[in-house]
Amino acid sequence: MNLKEFKWTRQPQDYVIGNDKIEIITKPNTDLWQRTYYHFRNDNAPVLQIETDEEYFSFVVKTQFDESKRRFDQCGIVMYLDSENWLKASVEYENSKYQHLGSVVTNDGYSDWATTVIDASVKSMWYRLSRREDDYCIESSTDGITFNQMRICHMHKGKGRIKFGIYACSPEESSFKAVFSDLQIMECQWKAHDGQQPD
């Protein structure tokens, strides 16, 4: 991929874009979240994306977060359409024992959060975002070969031309280096459903 085709939605103060790798140094009190449960709205995380109107594709990226150390430190994959319509997936640091591998889908200004607990020793994760029109599948992998489904979701504004890419943030008083590599766009790896036919 030509990383120069990616554009910032919010540009961080400290970052490096190389030929095959992107590094972002997060700033404290940066996050993406809308309303649900916490009743606050955070919309200031750095987001680096590329545009497409291709309706069937998969996007893969490897993340490394050796320096994450404070609760909610995170970096991962994102599809940011506007402040109230987006999705993301990441590993969020919790403490020295465990972290949360999870995803957030935000439609019309309300976020959800689906997670599973993983060991704190995990310091890299691959993600694969697949699109089939306005439906999306998020998967994760520890080796970049075998991907496991995290969720399937519908995006109310996810039809037509979209933006997708990467993000990193530190919601609390923290800063760490997030590293992204092995970015690829490929034929959609999320195959058409072969069971019950559409209504």
CATH 2.60.120.200: does it fit domain 3-186?
A: yes
What are the residue ranges spanned by the domains of the chain?
A: 3-186
The strand pairing partners of 127, in sequence order, are 61, 140
Query: Tokens standing for 164?
Result: 């997708």
- Percent of the chain with pLDDT strictly greater than 90: 95
Terminal C-alpha separation, the chain: 38
**What whole-number distance in Å separates Cα of residue 140 and Cα of residue 146?**
8
CB 82 within 8 A of CB 69: no
CB 10 within 8 A of CB 163: no
Report pLDDT for 152: 98
Report pLDDT for 129: 98
Residues 64-81 pLDDT 10s: 999 999 999 999 999 999
Report pLDDT for 197: 85
**What whole-number distance in Å separates Cα of residue 115 and Cα of residue 5?**
31
199 pLDDT band, cuts 50/70/90, is confident
56 pLDDT band, cuts 50/70/90, is very high
1 pLDDT band, cuts 50/70/90, is confident
Dihedral sign, Cα of residue 46, residue 110, residue 87, residue 4: negative
Report pLDDT for 144: 97
**The model's pTM:** 0.96
Residues 121-151 pLDDT 10s: 999 999 999 999 999 999 999 999 999 999 9
23 pLDDT band, cuts 50/70/90, is very high
